[in-house]
Structures are given as structure tokens and as C-alpha cells.
Structure 1
Amino acid sequence: MVKVPTTRLDRTRVARVALDLLNETGLDGLTLRAIAQRLDVKAPALYWHFKDKQALLDEMATEMLRRMAADLEGGPDAAEGDWAGALTRAMRALRGHLLRYRDGAKVYSGTHFTDTSYAAPMEAQLRRLTRAGFTPSAAARAWLTAYSYTIGHVIEEQATGGGYDLAARAERLKDYPLATAAGEEMFQDHETGFETGLAAVVTGIAATLHHPPQSPSSPSAV
């Protein structure tokens, strides 16, 4: 095991080392003691920066967000009004970044960001949505719906990433043919599954939350 040379500790440096270690240990094996060993310091030194593991996870999630912030904006070349395309690209980027880390979605979900790195990408998406005709509250709900779907999908995807024994599942569910057949859709080809679900989410957002202003020339506006 290669230890990080001892230099001045700060929260960001600890979080970066923790993210590297996460890919080796997974979330359950990630401890302040293991991180301290990688940093070649004593564990108590970390408590100057993090009161507990949750505080560390908050900083790790924030570091993850810093790395993905630009991609969450949906792309600089998004056409004006193409809210669906921009939102889709942002959620694909979110999934891609979370998959770079073992248990990445679990680390990311339910945490409190420690700075405002999230504000710029959120503002860009909300601005695009409101310009396309969403009310501010509908824009917020649209963003949160797509965001929550993506994180939830990746949590399940990473939980079954090592392979799911569909044969054993089918045996357990032999009296439930539809539930048995659903396993093929639910536990294989996560890429296609994510894209199909995301398309359904975006289509649903368009149907239930998007109410663009009518053109003055439209018959119904007369």
C-alpha cells in the first residue's frame, strides 16, 4: 500500500484521499483510521477536520459535486428551450460520475454539501426550465424528480453490480411468472434500463409540469 507523503492536512485533501480509498474498501470498509493510515497520520489528526464519519461523507460528496458541477449544467451548447435535452444530459453526467466510485451513490445521497458548488449547475438548469415555460416551483420539482430518479437508479445499479443470480431468483418466484420475467428487465443491461426510465421521467415532467405560455396567434388564446 502506497502512503500519501505527509503534508499539511485540509478537508479537501482528506476527502480526495477518502474517495480514492473508497474504490478499494467500499463504504462499509471506509474508516477514519484507514484514511489516516493512507495519509500517514494518526487518526486523531482527522478529528480536527471532521467530528465523525458523516461529516467526512458530507465533504466527500461535496468534492464529488465539484468534479461534476460543469457537466450538471447540461452542456454549454444546449439550444435555447431544449430543456429536456439539457436535463437528460445532466442526469447522464450525474450517473456517470457516481459510477466512478464504488458505492458512489450511497456516499452522495442524503449528505449535506459543505459549500455552494451545487448552486451554479442548479441555477443553470432552473433558469433554462423557467425560460421554457415552467413556473419556478414546477422547475424545482422537475429538477428534483430527475435528480432523485438518477441517484436511486445508481444505488440499485451499484448494489447489484456484481451480478444478480436470476436463475435462483426465478426458482424462488416460480409461482409468479410476471415477477420472474421482470428480473431480466430489472437486473440486466443497466445502461438501457437507465435510459428508458430517464426518458419516461422526462416525458412525465413534460406532461405534468410543463405549461409553456400560449402564442397570441394560437386559436385557443383568442
Structure 2
Amino acid sequence: MARETLTRDQIVRTAVELLDAEGLEGLNMRALGKRLDSAATAMYWHVKNKDNLVLLATDQVWGELSLPDLDAVDWRSAATTMAVDLYGMFTRHPWLVQAFAAHVLYGEGKARHDDHTLAVYEAAGFTGTQADQAASAVFTYVLGNAAGVAATASLTRKLTRDDTTAEEQFQDAMTKAQEIARRHPRLRARLETPAAATYAAAPDRAFEFGLQALLDGLERQRAEG
């Protein structure tokens, strides 16, 4: 594909597909050009560099998020919807968690989402710094929960690439972790229950439980303030 027929939108959408498949470490102009059947140098006519491409890809997926109508729903419902949607975005695109650790992420889509998030907490009665703190607390909770999903995705890619050796290393690490855990009564009891498929696995609906507990705390703090 000649550079004249490429568009920035094509490049960004393909970059998202590549990031979903290979993670942040798999994104480079050569791999992107191969997916687009184009020379790697053609990419630079539309994007400045890899960092710029990551920003564009990030803003592309941020556009997937819907913004609840605050005239139609209460703040708590809106906050829950936005947090669940955000978590869903991170789990669909786990490379985003990596990107937060390596880049300063910004763009129109993210700004639109962040602005509406503040509107949600202002609707709850938080003002100024308090609204920032409430929004930050929920965002950090969502991002922290998504870190496990991102780590699993990264490990899965490694197992796929390295085949037997990585699988053996993983199983060996899990065996050693369980051996240590069994020395402690509460961890041992959980490992011995049928629901404990793997060591340190999160229980069902842990994300929802924690999110509602966090929103309970914010609601109580606002009522008492």
C-alpha cells in the first residue's frame, strides 16, 4: 500500500489491533507496515514516531467509552457505569495499563471522558479538589484491578512465544507459591476450597464488590462533610 493511499485513521486502527495482539512491546513501524502491506517509512508521513502513535491509539480506544446523561440518571449510577465501562476498556486493551506506566497519556477522547467524570462527582456534591480526589480514587481503583488482566495477557503472549520453557517456568512458580501459601492457615484454607482454581485468583465479582464499597465511602464522606 503506497503512502498516498494510507490514511492516519487506517494506521491508528491497525496499531490498536497490533497492540491488542502483541502488547506495547510488539508495536513498531516495521510490524505495523507489514500488517498494512506498506513500507515502514510510509508510516512517518502520517505519525511522528512510536510515542505519537501510542497517544493516537490510546485516544482511539478512549472513544469507545459512553458518557451517561446526568439528566437521566443519578450520580451513583453514572459513576458505576463509567467505572465498569473503563474497566471493560482496560481488559479489552490491556496494553493501556502498560502505556500508563510508560507514557503521559492525553488526547481529546480522554479529556472528554475526564471532564464528564468530574461532572459526575460534582453532581454528587463534591466541589473543587474533592471532586478531583473522588474521581482519582475511582480511576486508580479501576486501573489497579485491570493490572492483573494486563499481566495475564503479557504472560499469555510469553507462553505462546516461548512454548514449553515458559509454561514450565510458570507451573514451577505456581507450585512454589502454593507451597509457601500452605504454611499460612487462611491461604491454605482458600487453596483447599473448590473455588480456588489458582493461587491469588480474585474471587467472583471482586471488582463490583470493591467498586460499590468505594462509592459507599465517597457517599458517606459527602454526607458527613
TM-score normalized by the length of structure 2:
0.73
Match of residue 183, structure 2, among 175, 182, 193 = 175
- In structure 1, distance between residues paired with 2:215 and 2:110: 21
Contact residue 3 and residue 42 of structure 2 kept, 8 A: no
RMSD: 3.2
Q: Does 1:124 align with 2:105?
A: no
Q: Does 1:60 align with 2:74?
A: no
Alignment of 1:1-222 (within 5 A): 8-68=5-65, 71=66, 73-75=67-69, 78-79=72-73, 82-107=74-99, 111-113=103-105, 115-160=107-152, 168-179=176-187, 184=196, 186-189=200-203, 192-208=205-221, 210-211=222-223
1:101-136 Cα offsets, whole Å, 9 max, x none, are 353432466544453223333333322322332112
- In structure 1, distance between residues paired with 2:84 and 2:185: 32
Aligned residue pairs total 203
Query: Which ranges of structure 2 fall in alignment gaps of 5 or more residues?
Result: 157-169
1:137-190 Cα offsets, whole Å, 9 max, x none, are 11111111111211121121231365x86654211333233355677594144x
Contact residue 18 and residue 60 of structure 1 kept, 8 A: yes
* Higher percent of residues as helix: 2
Contact residue 83 and residue 128 of structure 1 kept, 8 A: yes
Contact residue 17 and residue 38 of structure 1 kept, 8 A: yes
Query: Which ranges of structure 1 fall in alignment gaps of 5 or more residues?
Result: 214-222
Amino acid at match of 2:201: F
